[in-house]
């Protein structure tokens, strides 16, 4: 009698959020909504915009992610929980257009094959829960960004940070609670920081991988999915700019070598 016949637990599919299930950073989209509501200054928003662009191109280091969590927690100090909850609609309106359609299709394909699909992210548990519900997934695991006392954030980080080893621990704890077979499960991520989660399942998949994860995936024969075109667009733009500069320099050199013909004033127009 096979394992399935004896009622073996099914596998599941675990999806990182930023640069995996969606383009860019969910934290930045939260920051934009907070700025619009008057809860975040313009200078910090611009710093977050730069960090988001760098994140989309390179991924995030451990130091970047831990610093981001601490900064978010500190920025919440003194804010009412209800005020942040009221940002939900604006944040969703910014994130949903950035969800990769192919990744959402994959999640739903897993569900149709009998595997539950979960978001596992360093973003807040509240945001992760809302996204899982709206995207018709089975649940989510997120971080607790700040301690709350009497409905107000204290600014002190609290709870497990769902990042790196913490993300793998959260997946294992979820598997125990929900009777999930990790050997039959899939995990999707873009970052080497999620290597512990990817190693915890039988079917790891690198999505828009950073350089280190791409190297590991190649060495181990893992599936790689590339969806984020920003890096390629910027590379192409840089190549075009270089070509234009070279062409312009060549044109200037030619114009200096060539004497204007009668009737020409200032050379040809390009």
The whole-number pLDDT of residue 88 equals 78
Q: Is residue 47 part of a domain?
A: yes
Same domain, 89 and 200: yes
Same domain, 206 and 264: no
Any idea what the CATH number is for the domain that residue 86 is in?
3.40.50.1000
HEC readout, the chain: CCCCCCCCCCCEEEECCECCCECCCHHHHHHHHHHHCCCCCHHHHHHHHHHHHHHHHHCCCHHHHHHHHHHHHHHHCCCEHHHHHCCHHHHHHHHHHHECHHHHHHHHHHHHCCCEEEEEEEEEHHHHHHHHHHCCCCEEEEECCCCEECCEECCCCCCCCCCCHHHHHHHHHHHHHHCCCHHHCEEEECCHHHHHHHHCCCEEEEECCCHHHHHHHHHHCCEEECCCCHHHHHHHHHHHHHHHHHHHHHHHHHHHHCCCCCCCCCCCCC
Q: Is residue 3 part of a domain?
A: no
Same domain, 190 and 260: no
Same domain, 213 and 234: no
Active site residue 16: yes
Same domain, 48 and 158: yes
The whole-number pLDDT of residue 249 equals 34
Same domain, 258 and 204: no
- Supply the range of the domain harboring residue 215: 12-225
The whole-number pLDDT of residue 233 equals 43
Total count of domains within the chain = 2
Q: Is residue 4 part of a domain?
A: no
Q: Is residue 5 part of a domain?
A: no
Same domain, 152 and 245: no
Tens-digit pLDDT string for the chain (270 aa): 334 435 678 999 999 999 999 998 887 677 676 667 665 555 554 444 444 444 444 445 555 556 666 777 777 788 888 887 887 788 888 899 999 999 999 999 999 999 999 999 988 888 899 999 999 999 999 988 778 999 998 988 777 788 888 899 999 999 999 999 999 999 999 999 899 999 999 999 999 999 999 999 999 999 999 996 544 444 333 433 333 333 333 332 322 333 444 444 444 334
Q: Is residue 93 part of a domain?
A: yes
Same domain, 219 and 236: no
Active site residue 150: no
């Amino acid at each position: 009698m096979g394992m399935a016949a004896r009622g073996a637990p099914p596998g599941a599919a675990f999806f990182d959020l930023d640069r995996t299930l969606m383009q860019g950073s969910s934290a930045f989209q939260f920051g934009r909504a907070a700025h619009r509501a008057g809860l975040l200054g313009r200078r910090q928003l611009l710093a977050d915009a730069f960090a988001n662009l760098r994140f989309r191109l390179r991924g995030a280091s451990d130091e970047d992610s831990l610093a981001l969590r601490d900064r978010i927690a500190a920025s919440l100090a003194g804010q009412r929980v209800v005020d942040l909850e009221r940002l939900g609609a604006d944040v969703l309106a910014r994130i949903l257009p950035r969800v990769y359609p192919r990744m959402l299709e994959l999640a739903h394909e897993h569900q149709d094959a009998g595997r539950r699909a979960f978001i596992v992210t360093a973003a807040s548990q509240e945001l992760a829960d809302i996204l899982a519900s709206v995207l018709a997934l089975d649940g989510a695991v997120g971080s607790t960004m700040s301690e709350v006392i009497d409905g107000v954030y204290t600014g002190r980080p609290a709870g497990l940070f769902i990042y790196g080893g913490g993300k793998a621990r959260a997946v294992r704890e979820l598997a125990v609670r929900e009777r999930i077979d990790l050997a039959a499960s899939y995990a999707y991520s873009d970052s080497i920081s999620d290597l512990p989660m990817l190693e915890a399942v039988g079917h790891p998949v690198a999505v828009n991988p950073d350089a280190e994860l791409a190297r590991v995936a190649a060495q181990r024969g893992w599936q790689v999915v590339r969806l984020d075109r920003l890096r390629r667009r910027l590379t192409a733009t840089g190549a075009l700019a270089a070509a234009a500069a070279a062409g312009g320099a060549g044109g200037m050199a030619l114009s200096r070598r060539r004497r204007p013909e009668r009737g020409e004033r200032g050379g040809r127009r390009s």
